[in-house]
Amino acid sequence: MELLISSFFNPDILAQTWPFLLAGFWMTVKLTLVVVPIGVAGGLAIALLYTVRNRLVRWLVVIYVDFFRAFPPLVLLMFIAFGLPFMKIDLGAFGAVAVAFLLNTSSYYGEIFRAGIESIPRGQYEAARSTGLSAVQTMSYVVIPQATKNVIPDLISNTLEVVKLTSIASVVALPELLFAARQGQSLTYNATPIIAAGIIYLICLWPLVRLLSRFEHRQIALH
C-alpha cells in the first residue's frame, strides 16, 4: 500500500512536476480548441459535397472518407511530421498535428453530418424552395440546423474521441498533457505524473461520458 502511494500518488513528486503538467494541460486545451473546429468545418464541407448531384464528386468524397478512416491517425501523423519535411514541407509539430487531425477527423465528422442530412425528409427541401429560399439558403437555414440537431449525440461522441486522440501528439514531441507527464516521469523516475495525467483526463472528460450514456439510453427509450 505504501509502495502504491509513493509510486503512484506521491505528493512531493506531484508538487515538483505540477507546473509541467499544467502547461501540458493548457496545450491540450489549445490543441482541442484548434482541431475540433477545423474537423467539424471540414466534415460539414465533406457532407455538403456529398449532396452535390454528380457521381464523380460523390465517389471522390467516399474515397476520401474511407481512405482516412482506414489510415490509423498515428501513422498519418508520423507520415506528415517525419515524411513531409523531406519534401521541404516542414509544418512544425503543432502544424503537423493540425493537418493530420483535419484529414482524419473531418472524414468522421463528414459521415456524421451526411447521416444527419439524409435524415431530413425531401418535403423539407421542397417546402423551403417553394417559399422562395435559394438552394444555399435552404441548406443553411432549413436543412443543416435540423440535421445537426438529429446527430448531436454522435457529434459529442466523436468530439470526445478527438479530445482523447490529441494524446498522440506526444509522439511528435508536442508538449501536451501526456508528453509533459512522460517527461515528468523520466525526470523523477516516478510514475505519479502519468497517473496524474490520467486523472486529469478522467476529471475533464467524465462529464461528457455521462452525458453520452444518458443520450444513448434516452434514444432507446424513444425507440
Partner 1 sequence: MLDRLVDTFFNWRIMAEYLPKIVEGFVITIQLALAVVVAGIACGFALAMIRSFRVKPVNFLIIAVVDVLRAIPPLVIIIIFYFALPTVGIRMSAFLATWLALALVLAAFAEEIFWAGILSVPKGQWEAARSTGLSFLQTLRFVVMPQAVRITIPPLTNRTIAITKGTALGAVVAVGEILYQSQTAYSFSYNPSPLTLGAIAYLILFIPVVAFGRWVETRFAWKR
Query: What residues line the site for partner 1 (CB under 8 A)?
Result: 3-4, 7-8, 66-67, 69-76, 78-79, 82-83, 86-87, 160-161, 164-168, 170-171, 178, 182, 185, 190-191, 194-195, 197-198, 201-202, 205-206, 208-210, 213, 216-217, 220-221, 223
Length of the chain: 223
C-alpha cell read off for 58 = 460523390
> Nearer Cβ to partner 1, position 56 or 70?
70
Smallest gap from residue 128 Cβ to partner 1 (A): 26
Q: Which long-range contacts (CB under 8 A, 24 or more apart) does 146-150 make?
A: 146/120, 147/113, 147/116, 147/117, 147/119, 147/120, 148/113, 148/116, 150/116, 150/119, 150/120
C-alpha cell read off for 141 = 437555414
Smallest gap from residue 223 Cβ to partner 1 (A): 6
The owner of cell 506528415 is 80
Is residue 191 within 8 A of residue 7, CB to CB? The reply is yes
> Nearer Cβ to partner 1, position 98 or 111?
111
Smallest gap from residue 104 Cβ to partner 1 (A): 10
> Nearer Cβ to partner 1, position 48 or 112?
112
> Nearer Cβ to partner 1, position 10 or 138?
10
Q: Provide, for the chain, the percentages of residues in helix, strand and coil under a 3-state DSSP scheme, each rounded to the nearest 5.
A: 85, 0, 15
Smallest gap from residue 120 Cβ to partner 1 (A): 16
> Nearer Cβ to partner 1, position 103 or 139?
103
